[in-house]
Amino acid sequence: MSHAIKQNEPLVPEMELSMPAKIAGLWPVIIPILMTVALIVARIELGPRGFLYEGALTLLALICYMSAAVIIVTNLFVKEQVLSRLGLITVSLGYCFNLSGWMMRWVEAGDAEGWKAGINGAWRYFPLDNLYPLTLGFCAGAAVTTLLIIRKPKYEFLGAMSMPIVTVVLTLAIFLGNEIRTLPPILDSYWRPIHVSIATVAYGVCLVSFGIAFAYLLKDGVRSEAIAIGAGLFGLLIYGTVGRFGVPFHGEYGIGLLYNKTQLPVRAVLPGMGPLMVVTLLAIAASIVLFAIDWVRTDEKARRVGWRIFRLSALLQAVVLALLFSWIAFPQKMASATNLSNFVAQIPEREKPAFGEYLNKQMNADWPADRHQELAQKWLAQEDPAQFSLSMKSNPVEFGGLIGLFVVLFLVSLFAWRRE
Amino acid sequence: MATRESEASVKPHASAGTGSAVNASAVKASAVKARPEKHDSILDKVLQLLSSVKFGVTMLMVLLTMCIIGMLIMQVEVEGFQEYYLRLSPAQRLVYGGLGLFDIYHAWYFTFLLAVTGLNIILASIDRFPTAWQYYSKPKSSASPNFIRAQMFSQENESPKRPKVLAEEVRAAWKRHGFRARIGEDGDRITVFAQKNLWNRFGAYVVHVALITIFIGGFLTNRYGVGGMMEIRPGKASNTFNTFKMTLEGQRTAPAMLPFSIECTDLQQQLIRPEGNLEATNTIDWLSFVKIKDGDRAEDAVVRLNRPYDYRGYRFFQSQFTAVGNAREITIRLEPVSGGEAREVVIPRNGSVDVEGIGRIAFTGFYPDFKFEDGPTTATGEYNNPAAQLEITTPDGQKRGMFAFNPQLADQLYSQASGLAAQKGIDNPLLIQGNKLLLKSFEKVALGHTLSIQYDPGRIPVYIGFTLLVLALCGVFFFSHQRMWAVIEPHENGSKVFYGGNTNRNRPAFEGRFNLLVRAVNGGK
Ligand code: HEM
């Protein structure tokens, strides 16, 4: 049992407050919910106009969350009452936009299909139909939890942890795309809202628990270097495995290809990503080694240099993400900037036999195993290169890992710096 | 620990550990086993083994290992098993197959191990139950200072008040904090004893009952469960369905019987865009209307995609549809060729209507992509060229097969036929009493639906078991049996009090409560 925990009072020691006082204290949550109701009513009454679109509202939410992250993180260092207040208001506003965007999707999905009466009435359009609305819900959940917690100045630092994460996650969601598709009939079930929302809430709880656990590690006086080594090992795991072990073994990183909206089990190497990732990997490894040296024989210099390299790796990781998302968001521009004629040419030879095997099965052909590579080459050569595109959806776990790594490196750098 | 919690052998409270913060950490060794060791017969030894927790842990590990094997070696009912099987070496096939590892969860030894584990849980619980029961039957309502000092938390105080007065004060103070105390006197010594959540001692048994219930449910499913498929089409009835069993040689199909019969009365497929096709992406729901005939009882039922129907332990689910276009009802337009007003009639699938001047028109068949090739047939399952087959019974009792074609096809065929008829000098055979028959519109539906049928006697026990398990685990771990004592002895002109506290889990939380209860007596808040 740690002393750090004992010394703290319970997170929300509000039991002594009277009911009206408790409710008044909840204004950062209540106001955005009321505003959301107003926005939804406006959308239903006025139809889609102005910014009454899910997409627009989500973007506004992202801007708020981003600003809130900057404000709250800055306030870790400057500690201004005004900034605390501003941070709270910004998160609150972001929550309002986020929540109304999410609920707006309900209306939009129903309108798109003409509100067919399924077995569960309007629940057919409940916005938890794929990863995109789920992420919106998750961010809204994380934001409301943050709002509840950071009302107490003492716990404001938790906002400095959750807001950057929410920002990154919402960005990821926006890259997923907000297309509304017909719900597969099997999902028109009362079970979907129950099951998916509980799962989503659970993710939110995990996020906040992660933040709190991390905070207690710091409070308990665990050495920042030990935490950094843990984060670094996570980084090694990520870079050791992403892109089918491409980074350590081939210095390359590729992402999945789409052929005409069908996902192919083959990847196209993105120019520039591989070397950048190798450098990041080396930076992480170097900082781990330096922290280990410091740990074994208390070497102040190793420690200082270790932190510098560690922060550099967080920065590099940000660049990795920026480059990766540029490729996905603006493939044409990026391709012309790197003189790339098409993505098919970027498929490494070593991936072709397995891809040939896949094609062989898809086409019900019976090419022998030693000619699968040839089959893949033949097929790729005959298809129109313009049909191939990159997809955000092809490797979501991997992207999650890369984003998670950034968040971890960033937070560890931030809090270790703050501690000094 | 079969002995009663006594003054001589103070029960150790293992789970909470013995941290440094303990006031009196005089935790004594476990009570002596009160079991005869000498003349143990084989039966005794077996029983002892079967009721030991060590054995239970071993069994659980063995079961876990088997589950891991079941994950590492692909199981026969998993998709892609045949390919996996072909890739294995002959030796692997022989050994794994011989040991039943391809279907480990149905192997006899797996069932046997589950049964032994179940027995073990039952016997171990029975063995320990009397100890737990004593917390209820013989609460420790009189104690000695020594006993108190051996508790997790203890504290000693002196008071100028007389023991009896003090005892009443303790009782009142504790009551305010939700601990109802009783006062026991033993000579000069008074014991105030209070406890909370005594039931928590029995949570473990509820957990075990839940586990056994789940095991039993699993066993019933495994042993007596039946699952299969039945295709239904309007107008057809059946009491057999097909079951599928995966074996090393591939899928084996066998018929199974229902103890009642199912007659399909109607099928419906609700489409998102009625002009679109029958594919799943254009579908809101599939509805199968059936009549269950059970002896002289009959029951109407509807099976929908996410709303299965239960009857006598059998569950019917919508599973697939036969993607050949059909019509749930058709609208026929009767157009007199000589001019005059056209008439429209609506006929349901397999139904008929009476039309004045023509007779009874029955809707007997549907061709979504009509083609004539040694008889009427359909080229594909799509609605490319729909036509309905009719049977017309004229008022004089003659039956005549006819078609109602879609307007495009009708134009083409009628002009051809009237040309031919004119050559031969007969009436146009495609006309009925001088009327063209046109298929004006129809409601799309699949040729047939396939219901999946499950008979699972283990379902209810498994549901109950898991619900109970979750509730009981919450009950066990979120609460604790907390006991408080205040032993009061006369001391000089006043009294001496020995406070003791004990909990069976979550010691840190109880520490606060103990201090609070002690302070409450001493006038604190
Ligand atoms: C072969 C298997 C098992 C045996 C022999 C066994 C035996 C026991 C025994 C003797 C106790 C102590 C009861 C008491 O002191 O009143 C106990 C407690 C308990 N058992 Fe089991 N058990 C087995 C499997 C399991 C499993 C699989 C679970 C969980 C799903 C479980 C959950 C519990 C719980 C929650 C407690 C209460 C613990 C506490 O009070 O702190 N048991 N078990």
In terms of residues, how long is chain B? 525
Please give the number of the atom of ligand 1 that sits closest to the Cα of B15. Answer: 41
Query: According to the model, what pLDDT value does residue A16 have?
Result: 53
- Contact (CB, 8 A) for B216 and B458: yes
Please report residues of A whose CB lies closer than 8 A to that of B512. Answer: none
- Contact (CB, 8 A) for A242 and A369: no
Residue B3, number of CB atoms within 10 A of its CB? 16
- Chain-centroid distance, C-alpha A91: 18
Residue with tokens 């938790």: A158
Convert the pLDDT of each residue in B35-89 to its tens digit: 555 667 899 999 999 999 999 999 999 999 999 999 999 999 888 898 899 889 9
Convert the pLDDT of each residue in A314-345 to its tens digit: 999 999 999 998 888 888 899 889 888 888 88
Query: According to the model, what pLDDT value does residue A260 have?
Result: 84
User: Residue B1 above 60 pLDDT?
Assistant: no
Helix (H) / strand (E) containing B92: helix B90-98
Task: Using pLDDT thresholds of 50, 70 and 90, give the confidence band for residue B33.
Answer: very low
* Average per-residue pLDDT for chain B: 89
Convert the pLDDT of each residue in B348-374 to its tens digit: 999 999 998 889 999 999 999 999 888
What share of chain A in percent tops pLDDT 70?
96
Query: According to the model, what pLDDT value does residue B338 have?
Result: 85
User: What distance in angstroms lies between residue B473's CA and the mean position of ligand 1's atoms?
Assistant: 11
DSSP-assigned letters across all residues of B75-117: PTTSTTHHHHHHHS-HHHHHHHHHTTGGGGGGSHHHHHHHHHH
Convert the pLDDT of each residue in B438-488 to its tens digit: 999 999 999 999 999 999 999 999 999 999 999 999 999 999 999 999 999
Which chain B residues have any C-beta within 8 angstroms of a chain A C-beta? 19, 270, 272, 280-286, 304-307, 508
- Tell me the pTM: 0.76
Q: Does A357 touch chain B (CB under 8 A)?
A: no
Pocket test of ligand 1: the residue of B117, B207, B503 to mutate, having most ligand atoms within 8 Å of its CB, is B207
Convert the pLDDT of each residue in A98-153 to its tens digit: 999 999 999 999 999 999 888 888 999 999 998 899 999 999 999 998 999 898 88
Residue B267 CB-half CA count within 13 A: 30
Task: Using pLDDT thresholds of 50, 70 and 90, give the confidence band for residue A237.
Answer: very high
Task: In whole angstroms, give the CA distance from residue A257 to residue A250.
Answer: 19
User: What distance in angstroms lies between residue B205's CA and the mean position of ligand 1's atoms?
Assistant: 8
Pocket of ligand 1 (CB under 6 A): B 15, 53, 56, 59-60, 117, 120-121, 124, 128, 132, 204, 207-208, 211, 473, 476, 505
Task: In whole angstroms, give the CA distance from residue A192 to residue A118.
Answer: 13
Query: According to the model, what pLDDT value does residue B6 have?
Result: 52
User: What distance in angstroms lies between residue B204's CA and the mean position of ligand 1's atoms?
Assistant: 6
Task: Using pLDDT thresholds of 50, 70 and 90, give the confidence band for residue A17.
Answer: low
Query: According to the model, what pLDDT value does residue A5 have?
Result: 36
Query: According to the model, what pLDDT value does residue B38 have?
Result: 60
> Could you give phi then psi for residue B249, rounded to 5 degrees?
-85, -5
In terms of residues, how long is chain A? 420
Three-class SS state of B77: coil
Radius of gyration of chain B (CA): 40
Which amino acid is present at A209?
S
Of B301, B268, B269, B265, the closest CA to residue B453 belongs to B301
Query: According to the model, what pLDDT value does residue A312 have?
Result: 97
From B401's Cα to the closest Cα of chain A, the distance in A is 39
- Nearest residue, CB atoms, B283 vs list A185, A190, A191: A185
Give every CB contact of residue A287 below 8 A, 6+ residues apart in sequence: A228, A232, A306, A307, A309, A310, A313
DSSP-assigned letters across all residues of B181-215: EEEEEETTEEEEEEEE-GGGGGHHHHHHHHHHHHH
Write the burial class of residue A272 (CB in 10 Å: 0-12 exposed, 13-18 middle, 19+ buried): middle
Interface pTM, i.e. ipTM: 0.71
Give every CB contact of residue A297 below 8 A, 6+ residues apart in sequence: none
Please report residues of A whose CB lies closer than 8 A to that of B307. Answer: 119
Query: According to the model, what pLDDT value does residue B5 have?
Result: 57
From B423's Cα to the closest Cα of chain A, the distance in A is 53
Three-class SS state of B191: strand
Convert the pLDDT of each residue in A190-224 to its tens digit: 999 999 988 887 887 787 778 778 778 877 888 88
Interchain CB distance below 8 Å, B281 and A184: yes
Q: Which two tokens stand for residue B156?
A: 């000693």
Q: Does A245 touch chain B (CB under 8 A)?
A: no
Query: According to the model, what pLDDT value does residue A155 have?
Result: 85
User: Residue B404 above 90 pLDDT?
Assistant: yes
